[in-house]
Amino acid sequence: MAASELIHDSDDVRLQVEASVTTPTAPLHPPRVANGDLRSTVTGSVDGKQERGRLGSLLQQNQLIHSLSSGLRRHCHYVKIPVQEEHAVQLPTEWWKTGVAFLYAAFNLVFTTVVITIVHERVPDKSVSPPLPDKFFDYVDRVPWAFTVTESNGLILVGLWLLQWICLKHRSIIGRRCFFLIGTLYMYRCVTMYITTLPVPGKHMVCAPKLYNDSTGKIWRILRLISGGGLSLTGSHLMCGDFLYSGHTVMLTLSYLFIKEYSPPWMWWYRWFCWALSASGVVCILFAHEHYSIDVVVGYVVTTRTFWWYHTMANTHALRQAPNNFLSRTWWNPIFNFLERNVRTTVPVAFTWPVALPSACRQRYRIVEGGRDE
């Protein structure tokens, strides 16, 4: 856009788009004009006539700035160029938001255990409602030790993710995302478990007896389930009815997705190992006839879709200003905005020591230096 067009438009100020600079005595820095043309005329000789020209050109520069800005305001033919802020503000830590996300996840996990206890009362008895026909069960007979494999794989994956998370540099932001996704997926699970109750998938399942109105007993069961982490390994999960969809699949898939997303690209062997753990864990759920195939499939689909949806919203900043942002039509969009409002770029995969080096080391170094100076 040539400034000359603006000049010709404005009929009040006749402009000279020049900035005279004389060398070498007094180089005059040309004025910084945003979004505009800058022309400088360098005249090699220092002359008395140049002095007059210099003052005149100073005046003209001011006139230029004034006219340009008024012209810009009038015509609005300008493009907003966002100036990037300093790097430090790009990824603020904001641990309190991570705390809020943690509370959200904890609440949803407790709520899930409550719903499992309620649903347990409504599961139809094995004799009344036999297990539903399932294609996988038709082909593969039950393997008793398979579920232990699932749960140990799950524990290993969660442990690996925990270690990785502690060593990440931006652990507050990533932890926030992890808690939010866990909370949301378990909340969806509460809804699907509660509205329709599937019968037990196999005759082998041992369900604890129903406590019809025994509230104290129910609360004891809830506490036992929470303390055992919901795992059968710890003997805490004796209740039936929580089939659609599978919480084990969610944890296996989600921890693998997070491990893959936030690990350095060169560690491909690590990612393959975790993928193998995750896939074998999920398949073993079906081998053990502990969940229907539909539970595992729906669990996998919901987990992957929600994870990818969230990360696309977080990483694609063009979407945040887009007028027709379909991704923002989910119900959790306000929560997303709250958590990710100040995160301005894609979170880089960077690692750092979780604890700072002890200051005693630094102190010792300083004493040594002080000694040398003397």
Partner 1 sequence: MKKVVAWSAEDVSNWLSKEGMPEYIDALCQMDGPALLKLTETDFQKPPLSLLSSDAGQQLLERLETLRIETHIEAHKNGHANGHIVRLPNGTTKPQRNGSLAMKDFSMEMIHIPMPTIEATRSSFPVEWGKTGVAFIYAVVCFVTTTVVISVVHERVPPKEHTPPLPDKFFDLFDRVEWAFSICEINGMLLVGLWLIQWILLKYRSIIGRRFFFIVGTLYLYRCITMYITTLPVPGMHFKCSPKLLGNWEAQMRRVMKMIAGGGLSITGSHTMCGDYLYSGHTVMLTLTYLFIKEYSPKRFWWYHWLCWTLSAVGIFCILLAHDHYTVDVVVAYFITTRLFWWYHTMANQQSLKETSQSNPFSRVWWYRLFQYFEENVNGMVPKNYQLPFSWRALQWNRGVKYSRLDSQ
Pick 42 or 89: Cβ nearer partner 1: 42
CA of 26: how far to CAs of 20, 89, 221, in Å? 11, 39, 85
Window 102 to 141, contacts with partner 1 (CB under 8 A): 122-124, 128-130, 132-136
Pick 189 or 221: Cβ nearer partner 1: 189
Pick 35 or 234: Cβ nearer partner 1: 35
Window 179 to 208, contacts with partner 1 (CB under 8 A): 191-192, 194-199
* Minimum distance of partner 1 from residue 370's CB (angstroms): 41
21-49 burial, b if ≥16 CB within 10 A, otherwise e?
bbeeeeeeeeeebeebeeeeeeeeeeeee
Task: Give the active site residue among 289, 291, 311, 373.
Answer: 291
Pick 25 or 213: Cβ nearer partner 1: 25
Active site residue 204: no
* Minimum distance of partner 1 from residue 229's CB (angstroms): 26
**How far is Cα 282 from Cα 147, in angstroms, rounded to an integer?**
9
Contact residues for 158 (Cβ-Cβ < 8 A; gap 6+) = 251, 255
- The residue written with tokens 């997705």 in the block is 257
* Minimum distance of partner 1 from residue 225's CB (angstroms): 21
Task: Give the active site residue among 120, 237, 248, 289.
Answer: 248
Q: What distance, in Å, lies between the first and last C-alpha atoms of the chain?
A: 65
Q: Which stretch binds partner 1 (CB under 8 A): 88-96, 106-114, 247-255, 317-325?
A: 317-325
Q: Is the dihedral angle over the CA atoms 98, 104, 108, 110 positive or is it negative?
A: positive
DSSP one-letter string for 199-231: PPS-TT---PPP-SS-HHHHHHHHHHHHHTTT-
- φ and ψ at 349, to 5 degrees? -90, 95
Q: What angle do CA 127, 136, 245 make, to 5 degrees?
A: 75
Window 269 to 298, contacts with partner 1 (CB under 8 A): 292-294, 297-298
Asked if residue 283 lies in contact with residue 271, where contact means CB atoms within 8 angstroms, the answer is no
Q: Which stretch binds partner 1 (CB under 8 A): 11-19, 86-94, 172-180, 225-233?
A: 11-19
Pick 17 or 231: Cβ nearer partner 1: 17
Site string for partner 1, 326-355 (x = CB under 8 A): xx-xx---------------x---------
Active site residue 248: yes
Among 26, 29, 358, 361, binds partner 1 (CB under 8 A): 29
The footprint of partner 1 on this chain (CB under 8 A) covers a number of residues equal to 75
Task: Give the active site residue among 295, 311, 317, 373.
Answer: 295
> With binding defined as CB under 8 A, does residue 69 bind partner 1?
no
> With binding defined as CB under 8 A, does residue 27 bind partner 1?
yes
CA atoms within 13 A on the CB side of 153: 27
Q: Which stretch binds partner 1 (CB under 8 A): 12-20, 69-77, 178-186, 248-256?
A: 12-20
Among 11, 25, 48, 82, binds partner 1 (CB under 8 A): 82
> With binding defined as CB under 8 A, does residue 66 bind partner 1?
no
**How far is Cα 344 from Cα 333, in angstroms, rounded to an integer?**
17
Active site residue 295: yes
Asked if residue 193 lies in contact with residue 115, where contact means CB atoms within 8 angstroms, the answer is yes
Catalytic positions:
248, 291, 295
